[in-house]
Structure 1
Amino acid sequence: MPSAEVTRADATRGASSGRRVRIAHLYPELLNLYGDSGNILVLRKRLEWRGLGADVMEVHVDDTPSFSNVDLVFIGGGTDREQRIVCEKLLGVRNELAAFVEDGGVLAAVCGGYQLLGESYAMGDEKLPGLSLVDLRTERGTPRLIGNVAVKSRICPHVIVGYENHGGRTYLGDGVEPLGRVAYGNGNDGTSGFEGCLYKNVVGTYVHGPLLPKNPGVADYLLSRALERRYGDGSLEPLDDTEELAANQAMYDRMMSGDIETQ
């Protein structure tokens, strides 16, 4: 193992650098499809393994969130009913959340959370207003886009792998960069070859599974951007990600060899 890598045992060093990342986990009781709460565990541990601090604030349905002292916001995926509840809650603090995004705040949104970022999203035959944080829209389509997915993205050195299950077709506006290109699966709409979105420090994606355990490069991208915004230094010591990357590669290899079927 290269000496520059930080092993899991190094976690005993403590948060010696004094740098901390403040994470707001929005509505975990509603938005936790396919283990999305596991993403928060990954962010916390990857900070702790480097001797950095992690402050995780869970925002529940009866809470009024504030983003003034937050570095990273996470919104998971949920059912149509839960997505509607969350959107109504967030519309009440939309201006503050938009100011956070425009100021370079880091926001990661998965599936239903991703759809809420745009100007509108469809629920059955109904068109509902979104948060208008990113220039995108989501329409309803058939059939559902279900199966494993692999995405090549500039934000991390490895292919992003996971699982998608969505009836929405998401279309990006001019100037909004996709998270990446689909190597396997469907992505945003099943036809464009794009998956997810990148806008300032916002990452939106349909990749569940959860997203971060098999994709450490995505986790580190989010953490690095959060540290850069707060401290002016986004550098992260490399970790020994042998197990995570082996799981990532095994899943990707199975997709590309045809051992995993998509629906």
Structure 2
Amino acid sequence: MNITILHLFPDLMNLYGDWGNVAILRRTLETMGHDVTVVSPNTVENVYIETADMIYMGAGMERRSLYALELLRPYGKMLQTLVEQGVPMVFCGTAMDLLGATITDEAGTVHDGLGVLPFTVTHSNRRLVGDVMGDCPVTDRSVVGYLNSCSVVTGIETPLLSKVTLGNSHGAGLLHRNVMASPLTGPLLVKNPELLRYVITTLLTRKGVHFEAVPLSEHAMAGHEITVEALKNRISEKNS
């Protein structure tokens, strides 16, 4: 099966090694026998959003994310249509902010978002920093990641983390149809193999591909378990 992943603006939105999310998606799909093409436009002229089997955008500094918002704005209506059609999407870090109704920057200027979902974002003058762990409706194990953001998000109806057990609740992210967005970095799909499995399962199911299982790295699973246990110990120490 030929699969096209659209990696939006990788030079602009490239913090925290989040390109690793695309790398692990590609490697896993190729291991399963699929031909994967990653299209990585850095200018608005090369965004062929309607041909993508999956769309990904990584994290960037707040000013860069607002610039990325303007680059993507001409495709806002098409993006909304693709969301309703169930095209899988993953937006990490500040890329999540673009999907909302508005972004109010630190100076108080209100920027219209892409309007895919009705949540709002306000940039605080204080950054939210630290490890986050929580329960997720699409994984059996806790989801872990790191939050370094000044975005205060309100109005999320279906969070990716249904319960935040460690860290700031603004790290909960969102899950809507086949859209997964999270302010957490890590990179998220590398640190959470079960999220990787969920994204690939969603992608292949939508394309009508039959498969037995998504192969997950034993080392990645073991690393995730070590991280979860360390964070659980931190919670226990805090409560003792």
TM-score normalized with structure 1 length: 0.83
How far did residue 188 of structure 1 move? 1.8
Choose which of 165, 173, 198 in structure 2 pairs with 1:196: 173
* Alignment correspondent of 2:187: 210
| Paired residues of 1:116 and 1:131 also in contact (CA < 8 A) | yes
Partner Cα distance (2:3, 2:137) in 1:
23
Question: How has the CA–CA distance of structure 1 residues 236 and 96 changed in structure 2, closer, same or farther, with 3 Å as cutoff?
Answer: farther
What letter matches 1:135 in structure 2?
A: P
* Alignment correspondent of 2:38: 56
Could you give the per-residue CA deviations for residues 38-57 of structure 1, whole angstroms, max 9, x where no partner exists? 11000001111212221111
Question: How has the CA–CA distance of structure 1 residues 32 and 167 changed in structure 2, closer, same or farther, with 3 Å as cutoff?
Answer: same
The SS at the match of 2:188 is coil
Is 2:117 aligned against 1:134? yes
Is 2:75 aligned against 1:104? no
Question: How has the CA–CA distance of structure 1 residues 51 and 137 changed in structure 2, closer, same or farther, with 3 Å as cutoff?
Answer: same
* Alignment correspondent of 1:74: 56
What letter matches 2:3 in structure 1?
A: V
| Paired residues of 1:66 and 1:96 also in contact (CA < 8 A) | no
Partner Cα distance (2:210, 2:102) in 1:
33
* Alignment correspondent of 1:12: none
Is 2:224 aligned against 1:248? yes
Choose which of 30, 42, 65 in structure 1 pairs with 2:12: 30
Q: Give the unaligned 5+ runs of structure 2.
A: none
Is 2:69 aligned against 1:93? no
Partner Cα distance (2:212, 2:149) in 1:
34
Partner Cα distance (1:236, 1:133) in 2:
33
Choose which of 146, 152, 160 in structure 1 pairs with 2:129: 146
What letter matches 1:58 in structure 2?
A: S
Is 2:240 aligned against 1:257? no
TM-score normalized with structure 2 length: 0.91
Question: How has the CA–CA distance of structure 1 residues 109 and 85 changed in structure 2, closer, same or farther, with 3 Å as cutoff?
Answer: same
| Paired residues of 1:226 and 1:234 also in contact (CA < 8 A) | no
The SS at the match of 1:204 is strand
Residues paired across the two proteins, number: 235
How far did residue 134 of structure 1 move? 1.4
Partner Cα distance (1:97, 1:63) in 2:
16
Higher helix share: 2
* Alignment correspondent of 2:158: 177
Partner Cα distance (1:227, 1:63) in 2:
28
How far did residue 246 of structure 1 move? 1.1
Partner Cα distance (2:137, 2:210) in 1:
17
Question: How has the CA–CA distance of structure 1 residues 165 and 184 changed in structure 2, closer, same or farther, with 3 Å as cutoff?
Answer: same
Question: How has the CA–CA distance of structure 1 residues 234 and 101 changed in structure 2, closer, same or farther, with 3 Å as cutoff?
Answer: farther
Is 2:100 aligned against 1:118? yes
Structure 1 stretch displaced more, 48-57 or 20-29: 48-57
* Alignment correspondent of 2:3: 21
Q: How does 1:156-171 map to 2 (within 5 A)?
A: 156-171=139-154
Q: Give the unaligned 5+ runs of structure 1.
A: 1-18, 190-194
How far did residue 256 of structure 1 move? 1.9
